[in-house]
Structure 1
Amino acid sequence: MGNNYNIKHNVPEPSSEDIAKFMDFDALLEAHRKIESSQEGGVIRQFTSPREGQIGPRMRRWMVMGAGLAAAAAVALLLIVRSLNDLPTPAQSLAVADAYFAKQPYVNPPLTKVVPAGRPIKVDVAAGATLDLDEGTRLVIPRTAFQTDRGQLIESGEVDIYYREMHDAVDFFVAGVPMSYDSAGTRHYLQSAGMVEIIALQNGQPVGMAPGKTIRIELQSSISAQADGSWPSFKVYHLDATARSWVFHGKSSMLFEEEPQVLITPGMSLEQKINAEKEAILAADPMPQAPAKPVKPDGKSVSFELDLKDGELPLEPGSEEAVASLQEGAIWQVLPNSPAFNVNALNQVWKSARLKRLSETAYELTLLDDGEQLRLLVQPVITGKEFENALQQYDEALAAYQKELADWEKRTGEKITAVEARYLKTEETNANPAPSLRRVRHVFDINAFGIWNCDSPAPLSSNSFRIRVIEDQNGNTYPNQTAYLSDQSGQSIYQLHTGRGSTVYFDSQKEYLLWLLTPEGKIALVKTKAEWAKSNPKKGVKLKVQTINHTIRNEADIRRALNPD
């Protein structure tokens, strides 16, 4: 007689309901005990007489098979329980988190009743205004800088400007502003020196910026010195809620509110001390950069079209400034000193690009694709009628640059002369070390209303742990919502999903605060724990948060709840 096997491949994984059907541990234990009671020394007992309970060969075989099946069931159950204890893969958890945040508004204030209302400032459209605000910030608004939502220039009347600033993690939390920034597939977090939101209304209706007009912002804030004593530089980004991203706009200038001081170390000579202060002056007030004069193709070198401003080819981090300096309509011409290359490589599909400015006209362009790269030394060139337009724009920019350069030389020259005079007066001068915090003005121009961020992008830390569960002191868990993480600097805030297996990135040298909102509107929080860095990535960390029994009515209540000590 043939065997009638019913073999099934690719059996689906059991659901939680299926698993629950086989999780009767009491019944399993009772079955195990019955098996033990019929064994002695590992041998199944045989009664002396069938009439007195003797078990024949067939029954003995079934008893052996029953013991084997019970053992197999125990092993299968152990594997199921062990599988349930393991976390989902990082890719699975990331997909869940991305799907969760995709359903949330990009700007998502968690406590809408706490969001401070901006105060209106009336501006005469025809006259413009320079506004010195209570925060120490200055807004410079030119004349006739506004247009209606239909593109009609507004030439008279008043416009109400609504303005607010955000400077720390509590401000970012209240505003619901995301701080993540993706560049060439790499996720960064924006370390902010200050963020502003500015909108304008006329007769209660939103208005926009007129073409060619900008508002200058001089944002006052405090910044910390870097580990080497130097001061960081900052870039400017505009939040595009529709595209759900931050858009690079340029680099801010910094004006220190007091003379820069530098770290003077023991043993430095007089010359070294003077040079250290000179470098600090030039770092705080760098020399203006000359505009690039447009160049026509020479007709001999290889040239090709590649628009790095349209966003189709992702840019590697650090390329933004070089790309922003490019003239509209320019194409690329390969320089004679460029490394040799196969011209056919220009027709290849590349995954990303890196651009570095080498001089006024020369750039290093690197095209990348999974370990393969093409490095070229190039310069932008302009053809046809576009060249005449570019030349006219260059002449205007050159005149402005020459005036700006003369002002800079006079300004920095006076500062350097004062330093030299001070040191030459006494060779025993003991300069103060650089302070850890400095007041500065970040100066930048905006060409649209909305949220603008002056910051320095930082990559995610290499240290991380995975969440197993978040539980408060009352046994409540929070498996599917947003949590917030910030270090002691308060310059950024990291939004994360509380789901099982979510990854939390942190620097083990810093102190952090992680918090979330309970359904009752309370704040539950936990501070840095040493065991985060030692956790098993397959098991994760059980975060024990403390729910703070404070009623949240305003921003001050949030700050008290986040600092319960």
Structure 2
Amino acid sequence: MPNKTTIIAFALISTILFSSCEGKKKPEPQISEASRTAIIKPPIPKLDIAYQNFTVEPDSATVLTTPRGTKIRIPSNAFLDKDGNIVKDKVDITFREFYSPLDFYLAGIPMTYDENGIEKVFESGGMVEINATSNKNEVFVNPKNKIKVDMLSWTKSEEFNAYDLDKISGKWIEKEKDSISLSEKEEELKSTPTIPPMPRVSTSNSFKIEVDKELHPEIAIYENVLFEPVDPLKCSVGDAQDYKINPLKNGIYEVISILKIGNYKEEHKCECYLAFEKGKDYNKALKIYQKKYASLIKNREVESKIIRTLEINNFGFVNCDRPINYPQGGEFNPIFVDEKGNSLHLTGIVLVESNNNALFRYTSTVKYNPSNKNVLWGITNKGKIAYIKDDDFSTIINKSSGQKIKMHLIEKTPETYEDLKKILF
């Protein structure tokens, strides 16, 4: 019969072994190339969004910055091998970022989402794909030291959530809220000098007075300055004998006209903008303004940028989205033809609206909102891009029965992303 000491020793060893196994939980295997190809289908391979490549030392914290200003914040010991051990050798990272419907389209990324049995489309606030290897072997996210990605976004709406693309099903899995911040703290913004309003073109209400250049050097930099009343109905400058100018906030000046007759004195106040006659005077004033306040304008543009932070739970695609409905108000069952009336068979048909950041895919009936600006395109069986733009939508009849839709053909596939963007948008 084992004694008490033996039992305690056995229990201690069991605890150590159990804890060791828990500490080295193996990561889930990454997606195979065959499975990835089935999910991600770039329609025009040569225009697929390119990867950026980085190499990092995993034992020290690193911040990588992309040409678009995205920051990849990698803590030390952020990578695990397939057995759950911390990776010590150099890690190679591939990374790309997606901002617009054209980005999503060219990368071939699925953008639909099932919400309680209803198919919706993701409107994206920003998306990334990040993968990592070491010595050509896959590595995995260390859940105790997660990578964070700070990327620029067009929206600071809190309706957006973070989603990971499932590596097997191709479905998006909701994770958590991302965090939103501005590039500077609110208090720092308040302390930043305001930018005076741009010079205005004068109107019939504008008037001219002599300006003391020593008292008002900020006005003296301009020539032929006029004053434009903020509210003409509240101003009556009249035939004054003297004027005073008091600078107010936000580039507005209080012009005080003073009339004296004997012991009689009368004052009238008029809040005004600086203004210039249209043409040479205005153009010159605008150049002076842009030069004088260039650094301040640039600084405030940087300060006003919205940053969304995505936490990387698994390598692959991570998206900041909100599900939205397909457009409503108009629909048509297209019979696509070229501008000569020849029949076209299109695949990969997509629609983009000007007022959101979503990509709507269709296989038959196209739904759209006639009140929005729309662009629709697809790929012919000869690999050519066929498209219609907003002006073309005005000729479409809102009905569910079939109708011919005359498409513009891009005879030669554009060489670059920018070339295609210029044609479609």
TM range (shorter): 0.5 to 0.7
1:124 to 54, 57, 75: 57
User: Residues of 1 paired with 2:366 and 2:131: CA distance?
Assistant: 35
Partner of 1:250, secondary structure, is: coil
Kindly tell me: are residues 165 and 536 of structure 1, through their superposed partners in 2, closer, same or farther at Cα, counting changes over 3 Å? same
Paired AA for residue 398 in structure 2? S
Which residue in the other structure is 1:388 paired with?
none
Q: For residues 465 and 541 of structure 1, do their structure 2 counterparts lie closer, same or farther at Cα, with a shift above 3 Å needed?
A: farther
Residues 1:558 and 2:420 are matched in the alignment? yes
- Do the aligned residues in 1 keep the contact of 2:49 with 2:103 (CA within 8 Å)? no
Partner residue in 2 for 1:452: 318
Cα separation, partners in 2 of 1:417 and 1:484, compared to 1, 3 Å: closer
Identity %: 28
> Aligned letter for 1:127?
S
Give 3-state SS (helix, strand or coil) of 2:154's partner.
strand
Q: 1:530 matched to which residue of 2?
A: 394
2: CA distance, partners of 1:551 / 1:181: 31
Post-superposition offset of 1:115: 1.9
2:88 partner SS: coil
Matches within 5 A, 1:1-400: 105-148=38-81, 150-223=82-155, 231=157, 233-257=159-183
Distance in 1 between the 2:348 and 2:52 partners?
30
The whole-number CA distance in structure 2 between the counterparts of 1:540 and 1:183 is 30
Conserved 8 A contact 1:238-1:246 = yes
CA contact (8 A) 1:485 1:514 kept: yes
SS of residue paired to 1:154:
coil
User: Does the CA contact (< 8 Å) of 1:107 and 1:175 recur in 2?
Assistant: yes
Pairing partner for 1:488 from 337, 351, 354: 354
CA 427–460 in structure 1, closer or farther in 2 if over 3 Å, else same: farther
Query: Counterpart of 1:536 in structure 2: which amino acid?
Result: K
Aligned counterparts of 1:522 and 1:495: Cα–Cα separation in 2 = 18
Q: Deviations over 1:435-487 (max 9, x none)?
A: 9x952110121111111111232222332413141111243434462211111
Could you tell me how far apart the structure 2 residues matched to 1:556 and 1:129 are? 32
Provide Cα deviations, 1:63-117, integer angstroms capped at 9, x if missing partner. Answer: xxxxxxxxxxxxxxxxxxxxxxxxxxxxxxxxxxxxxxxxx93321111232244
Q: Which secondary structure does the structure 2 equivalent of 1:156 belong to?
A: coil
- Matching residue of 2:293: none
| Structure 2 residues without counterparts, runs of 5 or longer | 1-36, 193-245, 253-300
Structure with greater strand share of residues: 2
Counterpart code for 2:318 = W
Moved more, 137-146 or 109-118: 109-118
How far off its partner does 1:504 sit?
1.7
Number of positions where the alignment pairs a residue of Structure 1 with one of Structure 2 = 288
- Residue 428 (structure 1) shift: 6.5
Which one of 424, 433, 440 corresponds to residue 306 of structure 2?
A: 440
Relative distance call for 1:140 and 1:468 in structure 2 (3 A) is closer
The residue that corresponds to 2:30 in the other structure is none
Aligned amino acid, residue 115 of structure 1: D
Higher helix residue share: 1
State the AA in 2 paired with 1:210. N
d(CA) in 1 for partners of 2:305 and 2:148?
19
Aligned partner of 2:47: which letter? Answer: V
Query: CA separation in 2, counterparts of 1:530 and 1:169?
Result: 22
Q: What letter is aligned with 2:73?
A: V
Compute the displacement of 1:143 (Å). 1.5
Q: Quick one: which amino acid aligns to residue 235 of structure 1?
A: N
- Equivalent in 483, 503, 514 of residue 365 of structure 2: 503
CA RMSD in angstroms, aligned pairs only: 3.3
Task: Please report how far the alpha carbon of residue 541 of structure 1 lies from its aligned counterpart in structure 2 after TM superposition.
Answer: 3.4
CA 1:547–1:123 in structure 2 vs 1: closer, same or farther (change >3 Å)?
same
- Specify whether residues 105 and 438 from structure 1 end up closer, same or farther in structure 2 by C-alpha distance, changes over 3 A only: farther
Contact 1:153 1:210 in 2 (8 A): no
Structure-2 separation of matches of 1:108 and 1:511? 27
The residue type paired with residue 556 of structure 1 is E
Shift of 1:219: 0.7
CA contact (8 A) 1:222 1:438 kept: no
The structure-2 alpha-carbon separation of the partners of 1:232 and 1:143, relative to structure 1 and needing over 3 Å to count, comes to closer
Q: Is the 8 A contact 2:389 2:424 kept in 1?
A: no
Q: Can you list the C-alpha shifts for 1:203-260, whole angstroms capped at 9, x where unaligned? A: 222221123331111112333xxxxxx95642211111422211111112221236xx
Q: Tell me how far 1:144 sits from its aligned partner.
A: 1.6
Do the aligned partners of residues 452 and 418 (structure 1) sit closer, same or farther apart at CA in structure 2, a change above 3 Å counting?
same
Q: 1:517 maps to what in 2?
A: 379
- Deviation per CA, 1:262-308, whole angstroms, max 9, x where unpaired? xxxxxxxxxxxxxxxxxxxxxxxxxxxxxxxxxxxxxxxxxxxxxxx
Residue type of the alignment partner of 1:237: Y
Alpha-carbon distance in structure 2 between the residues aligned to 1:557 and 1:521: 17
Q: Deviations over 1:112-158 (max 9, x none)?
A: 2322441321111111312222211111112221122x333133110
Q: Which runs of 5+ in 1 are unaligned?
A: 1-103, 224-229, 259-410, 420-425
CA contact (8 A) 2:180 2:306 kept: yes
Which stretches of structure 1, 4 residues or longer, exceed 4 Å deviation after superposition? 230-233, 414-419, 426-432
Displacement after TM superposition at 1:492 (Å): 1.6
In structure 2, relative to structure 1, the CA distance for the partners of 1:255 and 1:542 (3 Å cut) is: same
